[in-house]
Amino acid sequence: MWYLGYFDEAMAEFLAEGGLPYPDMLASGHDVQLVHTEIDWQSSLRWADDACVDVSLESVGATSFALRFAVRVGETPVASGRTVYVVVGTDGSGKKRVPPNIVAALGPETVKGLPEPGQRLPEPGQGLPEPDPG
């Protein structure tokens, strides 16, 4: 459970660093729900260890986004993971499109335009692919 808790805390901090503190996202009528996660362990994490969780954006779809996580203690890799979050309404109305405030918080590459659902974002600094004119 600790790792999933670490991932959720890191996701909230990632959005806050992108300009969207979690309480502001909730106030806008949106929340996120974990729908899939994967974790691979490379080493152990002990109770008193000072864990650091690095977060990166993997992809954005119409109603969801995926984040990658790298857990380390100092320079020692401990675990890596991937979590898919679906955007939901705080009013209980269910799944929603990823709104502009979340898109902006996820990073500058997403502000230029969302990829088609299931299409992966390019590596940071490479920009989004040009839309198909057809």
pLDDT at 89: 97
The domain total for the chain is 1
Q: What is the 3-state secondary structure (H, E, C) of the chain?
A: CHHHHHHHHHHHHHHHHCCCCHHHHHHCCEEEEEEEEEEEECCCCCCCCCEEEEEEEEEECCCEEEEEEEEEECCEEEEEEEEEEEEEECCCCCECCCCHHHHHHHCHHHHCCCCCCCCECCCCCCCCCCCCCC
The answer to whether 111 and 128 have CB atoms below 8 angstroms apart is no
Indicate which CATH number applies to the domain containing 90. Answer: 3.10.129.10
The answer to whether residue 102 is domain-embedded is yes
pLDDT at 3: 77
- pLDDT for res 110: 53
Q: What is the extent of the structural domain holding 33?
A: 2-111
Residue 116 lies in a domain: no
For residue 124, what pLDDT is reported? 40
Number of Cβ within a 10 Å radius of residue 26: 12
Residue 95: the pLDDT is 96
Sheet containing 30-41, strands listed edge to edge, beginning at the edge strand earlier in sequence: 30-41, 76-89, 64-73, 51-60
In tens digits, the chain (134 residues) has pLDDT values of 577 888 999 999 999 999 999 999 999 999 999 999 999 999 988 888 888 999 999 999 999 999 999 999 999 999 999 999 999 999 999 999 999 999 999 986 554 444 444 444 444 444 434 443 33
Does residue 123 lie in a domain region? Answer: no
**Backbone angles phi and psi of 91, in degrees to 5:** -85, 5
